[in-house]
Amino acid sequence: MKKKSFFNGYNAKLALAVVALSGALLTGCYKDDGLDVNGPAGEVILPDPVYTISGNVLDAETLEPIATASVSGDATATVSNGGFSVEVKDAKSYSLKVKANGYEDTDVVVDVKKVNAGQSAVYTTLVAMQPKYEGKYTLKVVDTELGALDAADWKVTTLSGDAVTSPYAGGATYLVTIAKEGYVTKYITMELPKTRTDKEKILNVTLTKQVIGKVKIYGDLTIDNKPYEAKSIKLKNKNGVVLGIGQGWVYNFEVEATEFAVEAAETKAVSETKVATFTFEIVDINDIKISFEKKFTIVVAPDGSVEGSDSEQEAPIEFKVEVTPESNLDENWSTKVVKTVDWCNDDTKPHYMDVEYLNYTGMTVEGGDYEAKLASIGLKDISPLYIAVKAKMTVGISDIKEETIIKKGEDGLKIPALHLMKTMTIFHPYNKVVRTLTAITVGGVETSSEELKSVYKANNILKQAVPSYFEGGELYSIEHSHSHGHGHGDNQNSGGGIVEAE
């Protein structure tokens, strides 16, 4: 009956490590006829100890003996009928390498321990060798309509592109390059298993036809919805190659359709979507460089031509100046005026006094550094970019002006019944408005210009008049008597009368 494998239930690599490092020690003594009795009377001289390494070499999967193999390293032997034996002189650790055709090389370490003179020691080891297997990979190459392609060229390299020799080692990952004239070259990775696999692996590769023709990309430049005259407009591909140069505020480029590539694998579509990301580089009239990326998409027919309207793509470039305002009441700029009015209301009902006062309007520049910062990078007032920033920074600016306001009736100042209002206060508030340049964007995305980023946080500080208002002041209650001689609440500054503070 065939012996049951003791590898059942164990990981093969683990089991291999266990049996390869196992060993057994068998010791014995010599017979009397092996002793040296030629010494002095009564003295026996024992021979040196004898050490033997013995091993059995098996197939790690079938446990059948491997007929022929070689042992090398710290000791050498030839395996015959699955076994070997070799005598060694010293007690030490021996590293052995066992090789056999069709198997992975196996390393074994046997520790030989010292025994006494006249003794022999046999160390046994079991070597389980892992068979080598040839994995079968089938490369199937088709086009985008699932049609098989013949005569496609392919090569296998390491992931870094270095050439490899056949056969390819298991447990490694390789790069397979597939090319065919008229198609885009395709790259795939292939991982070879370390151990045996009974499964055939099929590598399906879809080659896309090389796109033909040209794509027109055109549009205009604006900044805050106004034409942006540029000294130059460049279009570059992902490798930095210039595909076109223009100037002014309108551009028109034609690029080869081969600049577009498949972004996602498509195997069944009648047509394919290809994309390209181009870099626009704008040079301002003051030599300020602004660059940004824009993605374009085309659909390619099975014959490689660009489908429909994708051959002409309008792409307006819309710059925006982003300025953030912050407004707060400034106590240093705000003023108030306290007036003595002596308004007396000796009626039993509230009375409203007409109020005349000055109101201020307008907003003036009180500080800021944006002009100096723009100048530091070369932006001058002839630049559309400079003009756009200044427009955002100065919108609403005007001289501070005064005007006379009269509030009558219930819009005036209320005097409670039987009260004297001694004073009133008129307030003239001002806000401190700080406008800060936060970004220059294209289509909502910040540009990559380091020069422009250096002037972010540039600001303009404004003094803004806020509508004036008034409040009543000191109030005193009165005892009414027409003999006291004070003035009545008739919008005149009257005095006199009997008053007491509330």
Please name which of 350, 365, 485, 346 lies closest in space to residue 409, comparing C-alpha atoms.
350
Quick one: which H or E segment has residue 385? helix 384-394
Among the candidates 129, 154, 180, a domain finishes at: 129
Residue type, 63: L
Query: In the structure encoding, which two tokens stand for residue 444, read together?
Result: 């909502």
Residue 197 domain-assigned (yes or no): yes
Before 167, cis peptide (omega within 30)? yes
Q: What is the pLDDT of residue 271?
A: 54
Classify residue 63 by its DSSP letter.
-
Phi, psi of 12 (to 5 degrees): -60, -40
CA gyration radius, the chain = 49
Pair 145, 275 in one domain: no
Question: CA 15, CA 104: separation in Å to the nearest integer?
Answer: 15
CA torsion, ordered 6, 7, 8, 9, to nearest 10 deg: 120
Residue type, 269: A
Q: What is the pLDDT of residue 161?
A: 75
Measure the CA angle with vertex 323, ends 321 and 327; round to 5°: 165
Among the candidates 151, 174, 206, a domain finishes at: 206
Pair 466, 327 in one domain: yes
Residue 437 domain-assigned (yes or no): yes
Pair 280, 332 in one domain: no
Pair 327, 345 in one domain: yes
The pTM of this model reads: 0.54
Q: What is the pLDDT of residue 151?
A: 64
- State the greatest distance between any 2 C-alpha atoms of the chain, in Å, as a whole number: 165
Please name which of 366, 388, 375, 383 lies closest in space to residue 465, comparing C-alpha atoms.
366
Among the candidates 176, 206, 236, a domain finishes at: 206
Tally of structural domains, the chain:
4
CATH of the domain at 146: 2.60.40.1120
Residue 494 domain-assigned (yes or no): no
Please name which of 154, 158, 223 lies closest in space to residue 183, comparing C-alpha atoms.
154
Please name which of 54, 53, 36 lies closest in space to residue 45, comparing C-alpha atoms.
36
Please name which of 138, 134, 147, 150 lies closest in space to residue 204, comparing C-alpha atoms.
138
CATH of the domain at 307: 2.60.40
Residue 305 domain-assigned (yes or no): yes
Residue 276 domain-assigned (yes or no): yes
Residue 496 domain-assigned (yes or no): no
SS (H, E, C) 241-282: CEEEEEEECEEEEEEEHHHCEECCCCCCCCCEEEEEEEEEEE
Count of residues in the chain = 502
Pair 448, 337 in one domain: yes
Q: pLDDT 10s per residue in the chain (502 long)?
A: 333 333 333 333 333 333 333 344 555 544 444 455 555 555 778 888 999 999 999 998 888 999 899 999 999 999 999 999 999 999 999 999 999 998 888 999 999 999 998 899 999 999 998 887 666 677 777 765 546 667 677 778 877 777 776 566 666 787 888 888 777 677 777 777 666 555 567 777 777 677 788 999 999 999 999 999 999 999 999 999 999 999 999 999 999 998 988 765 444 344 578 899 999 999 988 888 999 999 999 988 767 788 888 899 999 999 999 999 999 999 999 999 999 999 999 999 999 999 999 999 999 999 999 999 999 998 888 889 999 999 999 999 999 999 999 999 999 999 999 999 999 999 999 999 999 999 999 888 888 788 889 999 999 999 999 999 999 999 999 865 444 444 444 443 333 333 333 3
Phi, psi of 497 (to 5 degrees): 95, 170
Pair 305, 336 in one domain: no
Residue range(s) defining the domain that contains residue 159: 137-206
Pair 357, 443 in one domain: yes
How many other C-beta atoms are found inside a 10 Å radius of the C-beta of residue 149?
Answer: 16
Residue 488 domain-assigned (yes or no): no
Residue 17 domain-assigned (yes or no): yes
Pair 347, 409 in one domain: yes
Pair 124, 243 in one domain: no
Pair 337, 413 in one domain: yes
Pair 50, 100 in one domain: yes
Pair 343, 443 in one domain: yes
